[in-house]
Structure 1
């Protein structure tokens, strides 16, 4: 008898629940609302020792370096910056929908600027060990790698079976140009991606960092008319005033930049807000996002937090 009464009670409760309208889902926050709700702990300060300031006539470009992914290249880039290697050199290439590249325009080795304390040749650092490396994985599949996500805040990919990871060629990625030999780069010739993400370059060139401020000063440069977008005349080249490490600049001359951390619940919500756009304009949420379409917000540190 007790079992019958209990069964009847459960049936009545289930019937009552079924008759109630389902609770309205919580309204998804927009990306701006998510960022507005962020806490100081959701952001990280850029390390001045791993930040480059590229000064052009048009203004400043800031690059965050990735020593965990390319330690020897980053060490060489630091040495080049400390030795004022790039001062007075130029941007020599602007290829539409691809890259902007800078360094010494001299083609003959004997006429090229000395590297100073930097090394003339480095081993290829196309990948780095995945074990122990930070990696915040995206939920979606990728055509270029078994897994994609973010490593220390940089777009990255990973192959767990092989135990390797690498930084991805997303918009704003900075890499070290090389010749045919894999170990023919030294960080003196750098490029930045200004077009559709050329992921075919992944694991073929060493990626050393990404532009976090001022990329528009590079992406709007006149396109070169020579092969691969190189400027054909000296007067077309864009002069470089200087490249300095943030740690070499007085604190008052640095930009107090912060990048949104990628290992937080807030960032996971931001990713979901971009995977499934629910604002009024969108009629069909995609349910998928490409690695290089995930925004990586950077801001100036608020004076009051």
Structure 2
């Protein structure tokens, strides 16, 4: 086999020798410019986990024992915090219902995939309750919107929203408002708790639901929002889906029983859950929202640069 000729050796001209000689100096200059640019660039902000880890004790608030419920299922407790600022009449009625033992022995009546889990009286499809109500009210006027929202502290978050002129938090609960009218209302995010109803005046709190899917914000201003699940939402979201219309269970055997519901204020001190929620409207909160909007974790390639109200829910922790 004939041997292939070798290519001629490259010729280094004087200009090439000059560039090669200057290469170390050029590289040093580039490094110096890069360092100067880095010094002028803003420091990298903290990640979400770093913000939470650095939060001071005063950045956290305790839960109100008179506005927190523990609903015991066979799988364990679901802890719900009520929002009297958004629906004072319904929250007061729910307290009365709990204290008279209304929910004890009832069931989860409906679990609709990517939507809600609803509980109340299984004999009433809408969960409004045919079981006798002794001390609470059987029906209340709707509290879909707080008309005098200017009286509430509203901690807004930046960015547009598809459903409201402005969004933010009232007492740690996701909310929206219209600055022009002064109206404020609860936002339907994952874990939001609302009052089931038929016609607008049929809700009382005897039937409740929790959002277990993508935020159904189209429900805002159409249903009374009374709070959110702080812990144990997985015990509702993991329940079998109902096979009936709108996810209602068709047989008693399908329904998850509610063992009992108690107000934390009425529980023995040793049994009370010691939960804390990150306060809104503080420098730490601002850093948390910024970190949620601009994810700086190494895994992220392109941070979104935005986050809606349902993506900035205040973290919850067990008290240290």
Q: TM-score, normalised by structure 2?
A: 0.86
Given the superposition, is the C-alpha separation of residues 248 and 276 from structure 1 closer, same or farther in structure 2, using an over 3 Å criterion? same
**Corresponding residue SS for 1:73:** helix
For 1:195-210, list aligned pairs within 5 A. 195-210=213-228
Q: Which residue number in structure 2 is paired with residue 231 of structure 1?
A: 249
What does the per-residue CA deviation read over 1:197-256, in whole Å, with 9 as the maximum and x for residues that have no partner? Answer: 000000000000000000000000000000000000111011000001011101110110
Q: Which residue number in structure 2 is paired with residue 292 of structure 1?
A: 310
What does the per-residue CA deviation read over 1:145-164, in whole Å, with 9 as the maximum and x for residues that have no partner? Answer: 00000111000000011110
Gaps spanning 5+ residues in structure 1: where? 1-18
Q: How many residues align?
A: 282
Q: Which residue number in structure 1 is paired with residue 118 of structure 2?
A: 101
For 1:132-143, list aligned pairs within 5 A. 132-143=151-162
**Corresponding residue SS for 1:210:** strand
RMSD, aligned α-carbons: 1.6
Report if the CA contact (8 A) 2:48-2:295 is conserved: no
Bigger mean CA deviation after superposition, 27-36 or 235-244: 27-36
Instruction: Output the CA distance in 1 between the equivalents of 2:161 and 2:99.
Output: 39
Report if the CA contact (8 A) 2:71-2:77 is conserved: yes
1:281 is displaced (CA, Å) by 2.0
For 1:43-58, list aligned pairs within 5 A. 43-58=60-75
1:25 is displaced (CA, Å) by 2.4
What does the per-residue CA deviation read over 1:8-37, in whole Å, with 9 as the maximum and x for residues that have no partner? Answer: xxxxxxxxxxx9544242222111111111
- Does residue 1:167 correspond to 2:186, yes or no? yes
Instruction: Output the CA distance in 2 between the equivalents of 1:62 and 1:158.
Output: 27
1:193 is displaced (CA, Å) by 0.2
**Corresponding residue SS for 2:160:** coil
Which of 39, 49, 53 lines up with 1:36 in the alignment? Answer: 53
Instruction: Output the CA distance in 2 between the equivalents of 1:20 and 1:235.
Output: 70
Bigger mean CA deviation after superposition, 30-39 or 145-154: 30-39
1:112 is displaced (CA, Å) by 2.3
Q: Which residue number in structure 1 is paired with residue 131 of structure 2?
A: 113
Q: Which residue number in structure 1 is paired with residue 14 of structure 2?
A: none
Bigger mean CA deviation after superposition, 201-210 or 278-287: 278-287
Instruction: Output the CA distance in 2 between the equivalents of 1:193 and 1:42.
Output: 27
Bigger mean CA deviation after superposition, 42-51 or 273-282: 273-282
Instruction: Output the CA distance in 1 between the equivalents of 2:120 and 2:315.
Output: 28
1:85 is displaced (CA, Å) by 0.3
Instruction: Output the CA distance in 1 between the equivalents of 2:278 and 2:134.
Output: 36
4+ residue segments displaced more than 6 Å: none
- Does residue 1:245 correspond to 2:255, yes or no? no
Gaps spanning 5+ residues in structure 2: where? 1-34
What does the per-residue CA deviation read over 1:180-209, in whole Å, with 9 as the maximum and x for residues that have no partner? Answer: x21110000000000000000000000000
Q: Which residue number in structure 1 is paired with residue 171 of structure 2?
A: 152
Report if the CA contact (8 A) 2:195-2:208 is conserved: yes
1:279 is displaced (CA, Å) by 2.4
Instruction: Output the CA distance in 1 between the equivalents of 2:317 and 2:228.
Output: 15
- Does residue 1:211 correspond to 2:229, yes or no? yes
**Corresponding residue SS for 1:208:** strand
